[in-house]
Amino acid sequence: MVETYKDQIKYYHKDDRSIVSILSAGLNDAKIYVGQDRGISTLESFNERMIELIRDLKEISDKLVVFLYWEHNETCLIPKLQRCGNFISFNNARTELFNEELRKICNQLDVQILEVKTPGKDWQNDCLYHDGLHPNQKGYDLVYKQLKSILKI
Do 142 and 71 meet the contact criterion of CB atoms below 8 Å apart?
Answer: no
Terminal-to-terminal C-alpha distance of the chain: 26
Q: Got the DSSP string for 112-130?
A: EEEE----HHHIIIIIB-T
- Dihedral class, residue 24 (left if φ above 0, else alpha if ψ from -120 to 50, else beta): beta
Query: In this predicted structure, what is the pLDDT of residue 43?
Result: 93
In the sheet with 87-89, reading across from the earlier edge strand, the strands are 32-33, 87-89, 80-81
CATH label, 19-115, candidates 3.90.1330.10, 3.40.50.1970, 3.30.365.10, 3.40.50.1110: 3.40.50.1110
**pLDDT tens per residue, the chain (153 residues)?**
567 777 877 777 767 778 888 998 888 889 888 888 788 899 999 999 999 999 999 988 889 999 898 888 888 888 888 888 888 889 899 999 999 999 999 999 999 999 887 777 788 889 999 999 999 999 999 999 999 998 886
Query: In this predicted structure, what is the pLDDT of residue 1?
Result: 59
Of residues 32, 68, 57, the one with CA closest to residue 109: 57
Of residues 17, 18, 106, the one with CA closest to residue 62: 18
Sign of CA dihedral 17, 108, 118, 88: positive
pTM for the predicted model, two decimal places: 0.85
Q: Where are the domains of the chain?
A: 19-115
Q: Return the SS3 of 32.
A: strand
Query: In this predicted structure, what is the pLDDT of residue 2?
Result: 61
- Cα dihedral 2, 3, 9, 10, rounded to 10, equals 160
Query: In this predicted structure, what is the pLDDT of residue 107?
Result: 97
Sign of CA dihedral 98, 100, 103, 105: negative
